[in-house]
């Protein structure tokens, strides 16, 4: 598809600085800009690339002021990154959409599949499952008995949805994710063995959730493991049984959440954060990468470290940590000096 700067500016309600007739047919990164492509600048670290980029159109924030001449046409918008997302979404929606049931897939006779849905080859839809309108079920997806899936849901190849789970509207689940596997529940026995505790609950996923590749969300022992509306989970995340994640919380890769922990709304977790079980995490909490969380956290706190501490204390501690070798050396010298003084005093008695 080919778009002119004027068409893009009209769509984004932006201001053109340069040639309004210049056209683009693809996207590129600003440091690798190519002719006839559109790029964007939102991170100040990349500002120097804008003066040499070969891209013909650059989206910039409305407050951007160039320090020297720029060859590319600029489109000033309120938020360049958000504007790029709108354009990418527009291109994605313009692609041809697959519809229908491919050969070699299996749909149980008592399952229900909505209108304009796509069921890829080797997908398996079990008894009493419900798949909503305009869903995309790619090859090798498994949907268990009594699963309910809303409208406009995309399940990429290899997703597994266990029995009884409920998926809302506009959900995207990437390849290899497993929703509703048994939680890690075992009762220790007198002889040192472990007896499996049946996991009788399910997983409930709200609207507008996105779940990354190879992420696993365990079913509840009783009741539901709950993923709230608008939650975004990266690849390789583990969510244990009976966990609850509040609306619009986001988590980066390799976060691990132990059983029955409750997480509030609008939280942000960095990569490799680990949470102990049965905790309560408030709303708008931010956890830095690799934080180890062993206790409850109140609303709005920013925590980092393992064991985790408030972020300002962590930065102060980091400064001290870097000085430890020097401080250890000084302590040794002080100890030596003190011993010499003690010896001198004892000889003078």
Residues in contact with 57: Cβ distance below 8 Å, sequence separation at least 6, in sequence order: 5, 8, 22, 24, 37, 38, 39, 72, 73, 74, 75
Mean pLDDT value of segment 46-54: 95
Relative to beta strand 186-188, strand 194-196 is antiparallel
* Mean pLDDT computed over 9-20: 96
Task: Give the closest residue to 217 by CA, choosing from 229, 205, 209.
Answer: 205
247/188 Cα distance (integer angstroms): 35
Q: Is the pLDDT of residue 96 over 90?
A: no
Could you read off the pLDDT of 311-349 as tens digits, one per residue? 888 888 888 888 888 888 898 889 888 888 887 777 766
Residue 213, helix vs strand vs coil: coil
Q: Is 143 helix (H, G, I), strand (E, B) or coil?
A: strand
What is the C-alpha to C-alpha distance for residues 90 and 209, in angstroms, rounded to an integer? 20
- Our measurement of the distance from residue 330's CA atom to the centroid of its chain's CA atoms, rounded to an integer in Å, reads 45
Which residues are tagged catalytic? 241
Phi and psi angles of residue 221, each rounded to the nearest 5 degrees, phi first? -65, -50
Please name which of 329, 296, 303, 330 lies closest in space to residue 317, comparing C-alpha atoms: 303
Q: In 222-255, which positions are buried (b, 16+ CB within 10 angstroms) versus exposed (e)?
A: eebbbbbbbbbbbbbbbbbbbbbbbbbbebbbbb
Q: What percent of the chain is modeled with pLDDT above 70?
A: 99
For 209-266, how does the pLDDT look when each residue is reduced to its tens digit (9 = 90+)?
A: 999 999 999 999 999 999 999 999 999 999 999 999 999 999 999 999 999 999 999 9
**Short-list 14, 17, 19, CA closest to 4:** 19
What is the full DSSP assignment across 32-74? Answer: G--TTEEEEE-SGGGGGGGGT---SEEEEETT---SS---SEE
What radius of gyration, in Å, describes the C-alpha atoms of the chain?
A: 28
Cis peptide before 113 (omega within 30 of 0): no
Helix 80-94 to helix 5-12 angle (10° resolution) is 110
Percent of the chain with pLDDT over 90: 84
The pair of structure tokens assigned to 253 is 């890769």
Looking at every residue in the chain, the average pLDDT score rounds to: 94
């Amino acid at each position: 598809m080919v778009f002119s700067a004027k068409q893009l500016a009209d769509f984004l309600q932006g201001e053109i600085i340069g040639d309004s007739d210049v056209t683009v047919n693809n996207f590129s990164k600003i440091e690798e800009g190519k002719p006839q492509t559109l790029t964007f600048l939102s991170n100040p670290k990349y500002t120097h690339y804008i003066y040499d980029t070969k891209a013909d159109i650059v989206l910039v924030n409305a407050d951007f002021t160039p320090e020297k001449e720029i060859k590319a046409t600029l489109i000033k918008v309120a938020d360049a990154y958000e504007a790029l997302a709108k354009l990418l979404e527009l291109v994605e929606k313009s692609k041809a959409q697959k519809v229908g049931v491919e050969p070699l897939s299996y749909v149980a006779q008592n399952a229900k599949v909505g209108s304009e849905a796509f069921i890829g080859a080797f997908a398996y839809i079990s008894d009493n499952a419900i798949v909503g309108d305009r869903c995309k079920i790619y090859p090798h997806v498994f949907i268990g008995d009594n699963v309910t899936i809303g409208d406009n849901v995309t399940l990429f190849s290899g997703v597994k949805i266990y029995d009884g789970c409920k998926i809302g509207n506009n959900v995207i689940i990437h390849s290899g994710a497993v929703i509703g596997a048994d939680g890690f529940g075992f009762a220790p026995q007198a002889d040192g063995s472990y007896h499996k505790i049946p996991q009788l609950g399910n997983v409930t996923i709200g609207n507008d959730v996105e779940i990354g590749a190879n992420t696993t969300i365990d079913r509840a022992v009783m009741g539901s493991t709950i993923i709230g509306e608008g939650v975004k989970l990266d690849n390789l995340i583990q969510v244990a049984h009976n966990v609850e994640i509040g609306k619009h919380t986001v988590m980066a890769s390799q976060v691990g959440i132990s059983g029955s922990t409750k997480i509030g709304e609008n939280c942000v977790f960095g990569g490799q954060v680990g949470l102990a079980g049965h905790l309560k995490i408030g709303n708008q909490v931010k956890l830095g990468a690799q934080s180890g969380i062993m206790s409850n956290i109140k609303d709005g706190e920013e925590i980092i470290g393992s064991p985790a501490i408030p972020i300002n204390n962590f930065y102060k501690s980091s400064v001290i940590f870097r000085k430890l070798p020097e401080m250890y050396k000084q302590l040794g010298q002080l100890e030596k000096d003190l011993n010499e003084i003690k010896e001198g005093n004892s000889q003078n008695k």
